[in-house]
Amino acid sequence: MELLSFGDRGWGDELARATAMTVAVASCAFLLGLVFGALGSFAKLSRNRLVAAIADAYTTVIRGIPELLVIYLLFFGGSGALMFFARMFGHTGYVEINAFATGVCAIAIVNGAYSLEVIRGAVLAVPRGQIEAAKAFGMSPVTLFRRVLAPQVLRFALPGLGNVWQLALKETALISVTGLVEIMRQATVGAGSTKQPFTFYAVAAILYLLLTTISGHGFARAERWANRGVRSA
Amino acid sequence: MDPKFMGETLLRLIDGVPLLLKLVTVSLGLGFVIAVLVASARLSKIAPLRAVAASYVFLFRGTPLLVQMFLIYYGLGQFSAVRESFVWPFLRQPYWCAILALTLNTGAYGGEIMRGGIQSVAAGEIEAARACGMSGLLMLRRIVLPIALRQALPAYGNEMILMVKATSLASTVTLMEVTGIAHRIISDTYRAIEVFVVAGAIYLLLNFLITRAIRWLEWRLSPHLRDAPAGIPVVSAMPAR
C-alpha cells in the first residue's frame, strides 16, 4: 500500500498525473475524431462519387488494420515527413515529433472512422419527411441543420458515440509504446523499478475500469438528457 | 515508394502470418467455448453464477487488452506460488500468455454477443419445443443454439476481425507476428510509409477474406430468407381460400 501513497515514497501522485494524461489524450482524440467523423459522414453521404469513395476507403482501411500500425506510421513516419518539410524551408537537423500530438492524431484517425459510421447511421435515421417538411417551410440549409437535423442526429448517435469513447479510452494504452507517460507507461515504469509488475498493472486495470465506468454513467445521463421529451412506449 | 524494398518487406512480413493465424484461430476457438459458457451463465437462474459471469465480462471489457496481456505476461511472475506451480512452463512463454490474454478477452466480448443471440430466440419457439416434449439439452442443441448462432453471426464476424487486429498486441510481449516484424523493419530503416502500406495490405486481405467467409456462412444458414430457386413451384403452406 505504501507503494501507492502520494509524495516522494509512493507512486500515487505519478499515477494520478498519468491518469490525467490518459483522459487528456482520450478527450482530445475523441473530439478530433468527431470532427473527422462528421466531415467524413457528409462526404460518404454526398452525391459526389469521388468524395464518397474516398470516405468509404478511409473507413474500410482504418477499420481493417491494427491501431498499433497506425501509431507506428505516425510516430516514425510523422517525424520523417516533418523533417522533409523542414528541410524544404531550409531547416536542417533532427525534428522530434511531440508524442502527445502523435498519440492524439493516431487515435483520432482510428476513432474518426468509427464515429463516421455512427454519425452516418444517425443521419440516415432522421425521417426523410421531416427534411422535406423543413424545406417546404422554406428553411435554409443552415437552419434545417440546426433545428431539424443536428438535435436528432445527436440523439440517435449518442449510444454509438459512447462506445467509440470507450474505445478511445482503451486505445490510449497503446500510445505507451511511444513513451508518452499515460497510465500504461507509468505502470511499466513503476513495475520496472519496484519489481512488482502485478501490483502496478492491476492498479492500471483498476484505473481504466474507473474511467470506463464513470464515463459510461456520464453517457447514460447524456442519453437521458437527449431523449427528454421523447415519448416511449 | 521503392518497389524492390516493398517486395523484400512483403516477404519478411509474410513470415509473421502463420503465427498471426495460429494466435487468431486458437484464441477464437477457445474463446468461443468460453463465450457460450459465459452467455449460459449470464442467463442462468443461479444468481452467483450470473454474478461471476457478469463481473468477468465487466473486467475484461472495461480494461485495455494491453493491460490484460502485461498483467498475464509480466505480472503473474511476481508470485512465487505461480512460479513454482505446474502452469509456469506455459506462463513463462510469451506465446501462451498472448493466447491466454486474447482468449479471455474475446471470451468476454463473445459472451455478450452470444447472450444477445440466445435472447433473440423467440419465446414461441421455445414454448413450441417444450410442447413437443424436448428436454433442455435437446432443445438447446436443436432449437436455441442454431437460431442464436445465426443471429449472432454478423456480430461474431466483427469480433473475428477485431481479433485479427488484436493479435498485433502480441508484438508487445516479444512475439514476432506481422506487426512485430513491421515495427522492427521500420525502426531499422525508418521507411514507415512503405512498411505500413505492405503490412496494412496483409491485414486488409485477411479481414476481407473473413468478411467474405462470414457472408457465405450467413447465406448458408438462412435458406428460409432466400427466394425459392427458379423452376421449383412454390407450395403455399396455407390452403387457399
Angle at B99 between CA B53 and CA B155, to 5 degrees: 55
Does residue A69 belong to the interface with chain B, where contact is any CB pair within 8 Å? yes
Judging contacts by C-beta atoms under 8 Å, the chain B residues touching residue A162 are: none
Q: How many residues does chain A have?
A: 233
Quick: pLDDT tens for B203-219: 999 999 999 999 999 88
Residue B39 has pLDDT above 80, yes or no: yes
**Residue labelled with grid coordinates 465480462:** B57
Does residue A66 belong to the interface with chain B, where contact is any CB pair within 8 Å? yes
Judging contacts by C-beta atoms under 8 Å, the chain A residues touching residue B74 are: 191, 197-198, 201
Judging contacts by C-beta atoms under 8 Å, the chain B residues touching residue A187 are: 67, 70
Residue B185 has pLDDT above 80, yes or no: yes
Distance CA B126, CA B120 (A): 11
Quick one: DSSP state of residue B72?
Answer: I
Task: List Cβ neighbours of A73 (8 Å cut-off, separation of 6 or more).
Answer: A106, B192, B193, B196
In chain B, whose CA is at the least distance from the CA of A73?
B192
Please answer yes or no on whether A201 and B74 come within 8 Å at the CB atom.
Answer: yes
- Nearest by CB to B63, which of A63, A75, A205? A205
Distance CA A74, CA A81 (A): 9
Give domain status of residue A130, yes or no: yes
Mean pLDDT (10-residue bins), chain A, 233 residues: 69 91 96 96 92 94 94 85 76 75 94 95 92 94 92 92 95 92 94 91 96 95 88 71
Alpha-carbon gap: B104 to the closest alpha carbon of chain A (Å): 15
Please answer yes or no on whether A72 and B186 come within 8 Å at the CB atom.
Answer: yes
Which pLDDT value is given to residue A133? 95
Residue B18 has pLDDT above 70, yes or no: yes
In chain B, whose CA is at the least distance from the CA of A59?
B204
Say how many domains are in chain A. 1
| Among the listed residues A163, A208, A182, A157, the one whose alpha carbon sits nearest the alpha carbon of residue A71 | A182
Alpha-carbon gap: B171 to the closest alpha carbon of chain A (Å): 10
Say how many domains are in chain B. 1
Q: Which amino acid is at A87?
A: R
Give domain status of residue A99, yes or no: yes
Mean pLDDT over B165-187 rounds to 94
- Nearest by CB to A184, which of B67, B171, B204? B67
Which pLDDT value is given to residue B236? 60
Please answer yes or no on whether A65 and B192 come within 8 Å at the CB atom.
Answer: no
Q: Where are the alpha helices (DSSP H) in B92-191?
A: 94-119, 123-131, 136-139, 145-166, 178-189
| Among the listed residues A122, A127, A128, A129, the one whose alpha carbon sits nearest the alpha carbon of residue A150 | A122
Q: How confident is the model at residue B235 (pLDDT cuts 50, 70, 90)?
A: low
Distance CA A171, CA A184 (A): 11
Give domain status of residue A48, yes or no: yes
Give domain status of residue B228, yes or no: no
**Residue labelled with grid coordinates 462526404:** A43
Q: Which amino acid is at A147?
A: R
Quick: pLDDT tens for A121-145: 999 999 999 999 999 999 999 999 9
Which pLDDT value is given to residue A135? 93
- Cβ–Cβ under 8 Å, residues B74 and A194: no
Distance CA B79, CA B54 (A): 27
Does residue A229 belong to the interface with chain B, where contact is any CB pair within 8 Å? no
**Residue labelled with grid coordinates 459458457:** B37
Q: How confident is the model at residue B234 (pLDDT cuts 50, 70, 90)?
A: low
Residue A101: give the domain boundaries.
23-182
Quick: pLDDT tens for B56-112: 999 999 999 999 999 999 999 888 888 888 888 888 899 999 999 999 999 999 999
Residue B241 has pLDDT above 70, yes or no: no
Residue B18: give the domain boundaries.
3-223
Give domain status of residue A7, yes or no: no
Give domain status of residue B241, yes or no: no
Which pLDDT value is given to residue A93? 67
CATH code of the domain covering residue B70: 1.10.3720.10
| Among the listed residues B114, B110, B97, B113, the one whose alpha carbon sits nearest the alpha carbon of residue B23 | B97
Quick: pLDDT tens for B126-145: 999 999 999 888 998 999 98
Using alpha carbons, list the distances in angstroms from residue A8 to A2, A17, A55.
Answer: 11, 14, 50
More confident residue, B231 or A13: A13
Give domain status of residue A35, yes or no: yes
Give domain status of residue B69, yes or no: yes
Please answer yes or no on whether B183 and A61 come within 8 Å at the CB atom.
Answer: no
- Nearest by CB to A197, which of B78, B169, B192? B78
Give domain status of residue B237, yes or no: no
- Nearest by CB to B192, which of A76, A202, A205? A76
Distance CA B37, CA A84 (A): 55
Helix or strand or coil: residue A74?
Answer: helix
Judging contacts by C-beta atoms under 8 Å, the chain B residues touching residue A208 are: 62-64, 67
Give domain status of residue A120, yes or no: yes
Burial of B18 (0-12, 13-18, 19+ CB in 10 A): exposed
CATH code of the domain covering residue A88: 1.10.3720.10
Distance CA B197, CA A69 (A): 10
Burial of B39 (0-12, 13-18, 19+ CB in 10 A): buried
Residue of B78, B102, B187 for testing the chain A interface, max A β-carbons within 10 Å: B78
CB pairs under 8 A between A and B: 115
Q: Which amino acid is at A8?
A: D
Please answer yes or no on whether B64 and A173 come within 8 Å at the CB atom.
Answer: yes
Please answer yes or no on whether A69 and B179 come within 8 Å at the CB atom.
Answer: yes
Helix or strand or coil: residue A177?
Answer: helix
Distance CA A122, CA A162 (A): 13
Judging contacts by C-beta atoms under 8 Å, the chain A residues touching residue B78 are: 195-199
Residue of B57, B58, B63 for testing the chain A interface, max A β-carbons within 10 Å: B63
Alpha-carbon Rg for chain A, nearest whole angstrom, is 22
Give domain status of residue B123, yes or no: yes
Judging contacts by C-beta atoms under 8 Å, the chain B residues touching residue A76 are: 186-187, 190, 192
Please answer yes or no on whether A205 and B68 come within 8 Å at the CB atom.
Answer: yes
Q: Which amino acid is at A222?
A: A
- Nearest by CB to B78, which of A64, A184, A196? A196
